[in-house]
Amino acid sequence: MDKVYLNGLNFYGYHGAMKEENILGQTFIVDLILEVDLKEAGTNDDLEATVHYGHVYETVKAVVEGEPLKLIESVAERVSKKVLQAFPLIHQLTVKVIKPNPPIPGHYDSVAVEMTRGRESD
């Protein structure tokens, strides 16, 4: 299957298990891999035969900047569900939600979750 990559989508949201995260908010970064049959789009130069990246971005933004959730696992699951619902050409997708500065002690670049979902796993 062909793939479309959307990398480093940056949003500001209020997700987290700690009350301060829900009040102050923080940056979240999302990476997506969309599995789509791109043969027709590539052959015919037809936007209708592929997935519009701008519309995918807006769908992800609505989730990440929307209702606060406790877990980034829940954010990733909700992104997966909304994107699959909105874009029927996507057979499967991988979503990675990255929290660059979680309020936990230690030295690291970020924490993240990644999940793969397809139409058969709805």
> With bands split at pLDDT 50, 70 and 90, how would you rate the model's confidence at 90?
very high
What per-residue confidence (pLDDT) applies to 43?
A: 97
The chain-wide mean pLDDT, for the chain, equals 95
Can you tell me the mean pLDDT for 76-89? 98
What is the rounded CA–CA span in Å between residue 100 and residue 104? 11
What is the rounded CA–CA span in Å between residue 82 and residue 36? 16
What per-residue confidence (pLDDT) applies to 122?
A: 45
pLDDT at 73 over 80: yes
pLDDT at 78 over 60: yes
Q: Residue 17 has which token pair?
A: 């298990």
Bridge partners of residue 97, in order along the sequence: 30, 113
**Domains detected in the chain:** 2-121 (3.30.1130.10)
What per-residue confidence (pLDDT) applies to 121?
A: 47
Tens of pLDDT, residue by residue over 45-72, are 999 999 999 999 999 999 999 999 999 9
Question: Catalytic annotation on 99?
Answer: yes
